[in-house]
Amino acid sequence: MRSRVLIFGIDGGTFNVVGPMLEAGRLPNLARLQAEGAAGTLSTVCPPLTAPAWATFQTGLNPGRHGVFDFLAPPRHGYYRRLQNASALTAARVFDTLSSAGRTVGAVNVPLTFPPRPVNGFVIPGMLTPSFADKHLYPPSLGAEIRGVGEYFIDMDPANFEEVPDEAFTEDLYRVAEARKKIALHLWKSRRPDLFVVVFTGVDRLMHFYWDKAELVRRHYEWLDAALAEFMEAGGEDVTTLVMSDHGFGPAEGEVDLAGHLVRHGFMTLKKKKNPSPRRVMDAVAKLDVLNLRKRLPQRWRAAARGRVMERLSVFAAVDWKRTKAFPGTATQYGVYLNVAGREPEGIVDRADYEKVRDDLAAGLEELHAGLRGRVVRREEVYHGPFVDDAPDIYLPLWEDGIRLVEFSDDPAVAPRRRRAGEHRREGILFARGPSVSAGSAPNGATLADVYPTVMYLMKEAVPAGLDGRVLAEVVTPKTLAAAPPVYFDYDVGGAGYVDGEDAEVRARLESMGYLG
């Protein structure tokens, strides 16, 4: 019998919520996995950001080797940073390796799978997908089958990330979740792939904005626990089930104005005459467009027009690059880039002066927040590989304290549309149960990069050599390990290359959700 694996992804799943709920008996199906299998924390990438995290899950590589550090391309391609999608991820993924081995795979709503690559199975891409259209699925014929089952939504309506009543937010969240569950269950039952991955994003959305309304969050975890039971029942007892998250979560404890610090200390200089903020201009345009003329234009025209407008009005258009030594990444990236000559388009920091400027910057950043003292991280401390030079030169690990960076804006009157009550943490969740999983076991220092090789082993397939992750042998039964120790084979895991994946409407959607700052 072919070994099959179900991966039930909970975006942002955290033991900060799951732990007390397990103790209270409110998550019976996760409790069953814990009792009959393995449970423990799953550490994510640095910083705990969705795009590089799911890239590491897919490839078993750290961002320095797969090349994705953010939703946006590195600034060496331009200060108005284009969206990165799956085209930027050219490293071999678990889906590719299994397909090459003749195994079938299915993926529903996995971030960084748009545009979908051909696989021996099917793909419904996740966030960064412009729209739910046949051409955005693999295979495109999948669209007709899905429509025969019901509606499908890529994500919540971005308008509900603004100031709307709680009821409207949660109604939209469950609308998306129920539709995703229905379609995913249908495909899991009808196609029966050897590896099936479905990701639910609702708790991430809830915890960002409703961490302080705990019962709303707990009710959705209960919904997910019940949904998990349906997927497990559909798979049967011979299927190995993994429940995992891409990162953890915790309360938001404050904000830090990184851009203002860089300006005040002379690392970043703004032009005296600057354009109004992109948000203010686009909001004004939206209010004036009473006839909804933009919506009547073809989608590609709207996207191209908005892209050009946003590029001209980007907050970075207010920066005097000839007098700027350092600048911030996105609000969720917690990074600072040096403006390096020969790397950035208008870089001024000479390579010979790089370390001195970076040391001066690091020393100044430690004064930015008391929690940073002695904790500013240089990129080579957390990454290795051919793409390290694309990462921010310095990281501020403020996520450990729930501190968010204030949005970089050239207009101080612009405020966030909805207060964020929760922020990402590095420690997520991992549960496993199946014929080869040792009951009552726990992973030891597990990371996202370990999931890929562990899945290959549990499916009785050889593991590619050279991955950054390892097989989590401590959760496997001794009998299984003795009978079939992990086998490794040489395989070109590849490396990422940059492809312009800009879609202005998707970018606007991410901005409205608070991911790009």
Predicted local distance difference test score (pLDDT) of residue 45:
97
**Is the pLDDT confidence value at 306 over 60?**
no
The answer to which of 42-46, 255-259, 426-430 has the lowest mean pLDDT is 255-259
Q: Is residue 122 domain-shared with residue 178, that is, in the same domain?
A: yes
Question: Does residue 381 sit in the same domain as residue 443?
Answer: no
More confident residue, 311 or 43: 43
Closest CA to 327 of 295, 307, 349: 349
Q: How far apart are the C-alpha atoms of 222 and 220, rounded to whole Å? A: 5
pLDDT value at 332 more than 90:
no
Whether residues 458 and 476 share a domain: the answer is yes
Radius of gyration for the chain, computed over Cα atoms and rounded to the nearest angstrom: 23
**73 lies in some domain:** yes
367 and 457 fall within a common domain: no
pTM of the model: 0.91
Q: Looking at the predicted structure, is the pLDDT value of residue 381 above 90?
A: yes
| Among 43-52, 151-160, 274-283, the least confident range | 274-283
pLDDT at 292: 53
If asked whether residues 457 and 414 sit together in one domain, one would say: no
Segment 197-212 shows an average pLDDT of: 95
Per-residue pLDDT of 407-446, as tens digits, reads: 776 554 444 456 789 999 999 999 999 999 999 999 999 9
Out of 132-146, 158-172, 228-242, 340-354, least confident range? 158-172
At residue 373 the predicted structure's pLDDT band, cuts being 50, 70 and 90, is low
Average pLDDT over residues 447-475: 96
Q: Residue range 68-97: average pLDDT?
A: 91
Regarding whether 325 and 306 lie in a shared domain, the answer is: no
Coil, strand or helix: which one is 364?
helix
Q: Same structural domain for residues 337 and 411?
A: yes
Q: What's the Cα-to-Cα distance from 78 to each of 72, 82, 107, 230, 501, rounded to whole Å? A: 11, 8, 32, 46, 13
SS3 content of the chain, % helix, strand, coil (to 5): 40, 15, 40
For the chain, give the percent of residues with pLDDT over 90.
70
pLDDT on residue 275: 54
Whether residue 231 sits in one domain with residue 146: yes
Q: Where are the alpha helices (DSSP H) in 43-165?
A: 50-59, 63-66, 94-100, 142-149
Structural domain for 379, as ranges: 253-270+319-418
CA proximity to 411, closest of 334, 326, 313 = 313
150: alpha, beta or left? (left if phi > 0; alpha if psi -120 to 50): left
Q: Please tell me whether residue 385 adopts helix, strand or coil conformation.
A: coil
**The pLDDT of residue 11:** 97
Whole-angstrom Cα distance, residue 353 to residue 477? 54
Identify the pLDDT of residue 317. 83
The pLDDT value given to residue 406: 81
- Provide the pLDDT for residue 514: 66
pLDDT at 118 over 60: yes
- Judgement on whether residues 150 and 107 belong to the same structural domain of the protein: yes
Number of domains into which the chain is organized: 3
Residues 390 and 435 in one domain: no
Confirm whether 114 is domain-assigned.
Answer: yes
352 in a structural domain: yes
Between these two residues, 123 and 168, which has the higher pLDDT value? 123
Look at residue 449 and tell me if it is in a domain: yes
Please tell me whether residue 145 adopts helix, strand or coil conformation: helix
- 74 within a domain of the structure (yes/no): yes
Lowest average pLDDT, out of 61-75, 288-302, 305-319, 443-457, goes to: 288-302
Rounded Cα gap, residues 512 and 517, in angstroms: 9
239 and 331 housed in the same domain = no
Examine the fold and report which residue of 376, 403, 418 is the final residue of a domain before the chain moves on: 418
Q: What is the 3-state secondary structure (H, E, C) of 197-252?
A: EEEECHHHHHHHHHCCCHHHHHHHHHHHHHHHHHHHHHHCCCEEEEEECCCEEEEC
Whether 239 and 265 map to the same domain: the answer is no
Task: Write the CATH number for 467.
Answer: 3.40.720.10
Q: What is the pLDDT of residue 295?
A: 52
* Per-chain mean pLDDT for the chain: 88
Q: Which residue has the higher pLDDT, 443 or 506?
A: 443
Q: Is residue 494 part of a domain?
A: no
The last residue of a domain, from among 418, 437, 467: 418
* CA 368 to each of CA 52, 57, 359, 398: distance values in angstroms, whole numbers, following the listed order: 26, 33, 15, 11
Residue from 345, 268, 408, 349 nearest 78 by CA: 345
Say whether pLDDT at 266 is over 90.
Answer: yes
